[in-house]
Amino acid sequence: MRIAYCMMCQNSLIEVAERIKEMQPHVDRICVVDGGSVDDSIYYLRNHEGVEFKLKQWANHFSNQRNEYINMALNESGGTDWIIVSDPDESFNQHFRDNIRGYIAQAEAQNKNMITVRCQSRSWKGDKLVWENLDNYRKGLIFKAVPGIRYTGNPHEYLNTPGGQKVFALPDDAIYFHDKQENVIWKRGARNMIIGGGGPNLGHAAPLWRELHDVLDVIGWPRGWHEVHDRLIVGGVPQPLKDYMINRCRVQTGYDGASEYRELYKYYFRVLHPEEEPGEYAGQHIE
């Protein structure tokens, strides 16, 4: 049985190095797709013995990027029977790593093609753990490598398995950790909204997404997340976008995806540039 561990990354060198170190003793192949890092990840991955590496410039599409590592894992020259995936901020506990081959053998014996793992969420302030919770949520992070398996959707992606998914759930002593710095969800919410309209990839069904595109067109900005983010980091955004965040995003309630519009406001004014937040709203609780 050959197992491939697959990951996509961009500018996550420390986490990527930790994931490879943890997983390499337990798998046969490691396949990594980098979206165009500028933090030395590319040199590290290209130089790392035992890592199969591909550089694919990020094009604002999560499924397409993940499908690149599936293509690598299915490559006949390497050969793979099962695929384990995670993002750089998702790690497996020691019990999972020590027993994964046995769990896969059990799944095979029961004719299952998807293995789900329970999540333990952890929030950090710097190096200090400030909150953790064993969630009632399982994620399909291990699946049988079969031709035609593909991710679809963006930014929230779904794994489509030929013939459907037959699920084997791991016991609760085999978990994965989802680690994030406190409030990083604001950036991710803003990202998901800008890429896909918020919520479950609402796109043009979200009027505020269409309005955002009008604003970006007016100020002459591109619509891609990384291009917008590069300009948000600089600060001093044009007034039409600032007005959109203050008067439209800040006050959103009551529909699927509304939080991701609020998170654009909070990310810009509470993380990137608090000096720009209007005084009447500074420190004000936002749902």
- CA gap 31, 158 in Å, rounded: 20
What is the mean pLDDT of the segment spanning 121-137? Answer: 96
pLDDT the model gives residue 255: 73
Helices and strands of the chain, counted as H and E runs: 9, 11
Provide the pLDDT for residue 254.
Answer: 74
Structure confidence by residue, pLDDT tens digits, 254-273: 777 899 999 999 999 999 99
Beta bridge partners of 140: 116
CB within 8 Å of 11: residues ≥ 6 apart: 37, 38, 39, 41
Task: Find the helix packing angle between 258-266 and 184-196, rounded to 10°.
Answer: 120
What pLDDT digit, counting tens, does each position of 81-121 carry?
999 999 999 999 999 999 999 999 999 999 999 999 999 99
Per-residue tokens: 25 = 């003793």
CB proximity list for 167: less than 8 A, separation 6 or greater: 112, 114, 115, 116, 140
Cβ contacts of 94 within 8 Å, gap of 6 or more: none
pLDDT for residue 78 = 61
Q: At 134, which helix (H) or strand (E)?
A: strand 128-144
Q: How far apart are CA 121 and CA 134, in angstroms?
A: 6
Q: What is the DSSP code (8-state) at residue 81?
A: S
- How do residues 24-72 score in pLDDT, each as one tens digit? 999 999 999 999 999 999 999 999 999 999 999 999 899 999 999 999 9
For the CA atoms of 40, 45, 48, 54, what is the dihedral angle to 10 degrees?
-150
Which residue type sits at 55?
L
Rounded to whole angstroms, the Cα distance separating 6 from 78 reads 13
**pLDDT-derived band of residue 184, with 50, 70 and 90 as boundaries?**
very high
Please report which confidence band the pLDDT of residue 73 belongs to, taking 50, 70 and 90 as the band edges.
very high
Classified as helix, coil or strand, 36 is: coil
Element (H, E) at 96: helix 94-109
Query: Where does the chain hold its CATH 3.90.550.10 domain(s)?
Result: 3-114+141-163
* Topology, domain 3-114+141-163: Spore Coat Polysaccharide Biosynthesis Protein SpsA; Chain A (3.90.550)
CA atoms within 13 A on the CB side of 178: 15
The single residue listed with the structure tokens 């919410």 is 189
Residue 235 DSSP label: -
Weakest mean pLDDT among 133-142, 200-209, 260-269: 200-209
